[in-house]
Structure 1
Amino acid sequence: MQQIILFLIKNKTGLVFIILMTIALGLTFQAHTYHNSKLVSSANFLTGSVLGTSENIYQYFDLKTQNEILFEENETLRRQLLNLTLAEDTLKTDLEFITDTLYSIKKAKVVSNYYDKVDNFLLIKGGEKDSIREDLGVISSKGIVGIVQDVSQEFSRVISILNTNTSINAKLKKTYHFGTLTWDGKDPNILSLIDVPRSAPVQKGDTITTGGRSLVFPENVPIGVISDFELNENIGYYSISVKLFNDMTNLKHVYVIENTRKEEAYELLNPEQP
């Protein structure tokens, strides 16, 4: 207490000046509208800046939650989109039946992704407990990713489209000419579409999608665009370079697609012999 009294006595001149200055400024702002408005405006600006910065910080740390919400919404929207065009006809024969099957979709996160080898794989978080099984298709928001090869309770191993052992039915979107999508083990951004007949009107920039002639991927899942092509005159088929929509080196979220009528389709395509 004594130290406080000594401090006040020692600095009494400065303290009196500060008190009188504060009183004078207060009276000035109260008496003059212009000065008062400037003070309020400055206070509002400072408060707004602090609140704005706080809101930006909150939004930054809330991004993970918001991304999860959007991911779940995308899962629902993609399920609806996949099945929207599949309900026009209820039953057809042979391969046409497959394009009318219904698909379910499950979201999953990429744990690891290999793309710099000849035969690449992904590991995703989601396994048997999530009803993920072998031979299910995997896509992202931009296109195809691969096919589930093996599963455990918590995780799944996905054979990537960047794998020389992978072959996927694909087509020219605008003409419905079909071919087989493969990878030569070189550029992770470029795949090859082979066995497209010479009658197909191939052009650079044309979109390539899944053909739908399989039990893994539905029809018209995006793959990429034609970046180059060459006609082999000897066999009469094109060899087409396809630039992927997907950046296979940067995958975080994917969707696992299940054909809910796969077993029924298998029975139709492979009837038991008497």
Structure 2
Amino acid sequence: MQQIINFFIKNSTKLLFLLLLATSLLLTIQTHSFHRSRVLGSANAFTGYVYEKINNTKIYFSLRQQNDELAFENAELKKILYNSINPADSVEISDSKPIENPEFEVILGKVIRNSFKSKENYLTIKGGTKNGIHPDMGVVNSRGVLGIVEIAANNYATVQSILNVKSQINAKIKGSNHFGTLNWDGKNTGYVQLIDIPRLADLHKGDTIVTGGKSIIFPENIPIGAIDKVFVDKSSNYYTISVRLFNDMTNLGYVYIIKNNDIEEINHLEEATKDE
């Protein structure tokens, strides 16, 4: 207490000056409209600045929730798209009704581990059998194909990446019926190879490569990448095409797992046909 009293005694002149200055400023503001308006304007500007920063902070911390909500909405939109007559065409969403007995279901997941430096790369996703995820389901994101589910546990699943030398995905040139097999040579993470495309096919650099209609895992016309280079195998009648992926396989977040509700019926029918 004595130190506080000593502080006021020691700085009495300065404190008196500050008190008189504050009093004079207050009287000036109250008696002059111009000064009052300037002070109020500055106060409003400062208050607005503070409110803006607070609001930006709130928005930042709510981004995760907003991203989750958008991802769920995208899953529903993809379900509508994959069950349309022609997935390559635009689909009117505003008047869409719940789909009865859909061929494809779409399940939301998230990548929690991603390997891309070996010859046989895998993704680990959050989401498993408890969410309806099982082996041999296609995995995509907003940019295109990522891989195929290999093993599923209760809460997690592993996905054979498109960057895996064992990966084989049916693909075609968009707008044509020329099909081939998409695989990876284990070299560049930004490119895969499309083989067995006949030399009769009309193709050009920049043409889009999409999933083909011969797959029971992926719906037709899901984007994969664009033609970068075309190599001619002189010993055969087929092209080998270098495809630049639309996805950055080193930077993945939310994913969508595609369930074909007819896959068991198709597999049963094919097995029965082989037995005969």
Give the distance between the partners of 2:203 and 2:124, measured in 1 at CA. Answer: 35
Give the distance between the partners of 2:56 and 2:31, measured in 1 at CA. Answer: 38
Q: 1:183 Cα shift?
A: 0.6
Give the distance between the partners of 1:238 and 1:221, measured in 2 at CA. Answer: 21
Give the distance between the partners of 1:110 and 1:226, measured in 2 at CA. Answer: 27
Give the distance between the partners of 1:146 and 1:5, measured in 2 at CA. Answer: 76
- Secondary structure of 1:109's match? strand
Q: Which amino acid aligns with 1:165?
A: K
User: Hey, what does 1:254 align to over in structure 2?
Assistant: 255
Contact residue 86 and residue 102 of structure 1 kept, 8 A: no
Give the distance between the partners of 1:42 and 1:247, measured in 2 at CA. Answer: 48
1:235-254 counterparts in 2 under 5 A? Answer: 235-254=236-255
User: Hey, what does 1:105 align to over in structure 2?
Assistant: 106
Q: 1:194 Cα shift?
A: 0.6
User: Hey, what does 1:174 align to over in structure 2?
Assistant: 175
* Aligned residue pairs, count: 262
User: Hey, what does 1:94 align to over in structure 2?
Assistant: none
- Secondary structure of 2:55's match? helix
User: Hey, what does 1:60 align to over in structure 2?
Assistant: 60
Displaced runs of 4+ in structure 1, greater than 3 A?
1-16, 267-274
Q: 1:269 Cα shift?
A: 3.6
- Secondary structure of 1:62's match? helix
| CA deviation map 1:177-214 (0-9, x unaligned) | 11110110101111111110111011000000000211
- Secondary structure of 1:246's match? coil
Q: Which amino acid aligns with 1:219?
A: E
Contact residue 138 and residue 254 of structure 1 kept, 8 A: yes
Give the distance between the partners of 1:11 and 1:164, measured in 2 at CA. Answer: 80
Unaligned runs of 5+ in 1: 88-100
Structure 1 residue 84 corresponds to structure 2 residue 70: no
User: Hey, what does 1:213 align to over in structure 2?
Assistant: 214
Q: 1:79 Cα shift?
A: 1.2
CA RMSD of aligned residues (A): 2.1
Give the distance between the partners of 1:4 and 1:262, measured in 2 at CA. Answer: 83
Q: Which amino acid aligns with 1:121?
A: Y
Structure 1 residue 228 corresponds to structure 2 residue 229: yes
- Secondary structure of 2:272's match? coil
Q: 1:174 to 1:25 in 2, by over 3 A?
A: same
Q: Which amino acid aligns with 1:262?
A: I
Give the distance between the partners of 1:65 and 1:256, measured in 2 at CA. Answer: 21
Give the distance between the partners of 1:4 and 1:33, measured in 2 at CA. Answer: 39
User: Hey, what does 2:95 align to over in structure 1?
Assistant: none
Give the distance between the partners of 1:150 and 1:10, measured in 2 at CA. Answer: 78
| CA deviation map 1:132-172 (0-9, x unaligned) | 11111111111111111111111111111111111111000
| CA deviation map 1:85-136 (0-9, x unaligned) | 269xxxxxxxxxxxxx710011111121111111111111111111111111
User: Hey, what does 2:135 align to over in structure 1?
Assistant: 134
Q: 1:2 to 1:119 in 2, by over 3 A?
A: closer
| Aligned residues with identical type, % of pairs | 46
Give the distance between the partners of 1:129 and 1:229, measured in 2 at CA. Answer: 43
Single out whichever of 170-179 and 203-212 deviates more from structure 2: 170-179
Contact residue 181 and residue 191 of structure 1 kept, 8 A: yes
TM-score by length of 2: 0.88
Give the distance between the partners of 1:220 and 1:210, measured in 2 at CA. Answer: 5
- Secondary structure of 2:44's match? helix
Q: Which amino acid aligns with 1:166?
A: S
Give the distance between the partners of 1:24 and 1:155, measured in 2 at CA. Answer: 70
1:12-27 counterparts in 2 under 5 A? Answer: 12-27=12-27
1:142-221 counterparts in 2 under 5 A? Answer: 142-221=143-222
Unaligned runs of 5+ in 2: 88-101
Q: Which amino acid aligns with 1:248?
A: M
Give the distance between the partners of 1:184 and 1:203, measured in 2 at CA. Answer: 22
TM-score by length of 1: 0.89
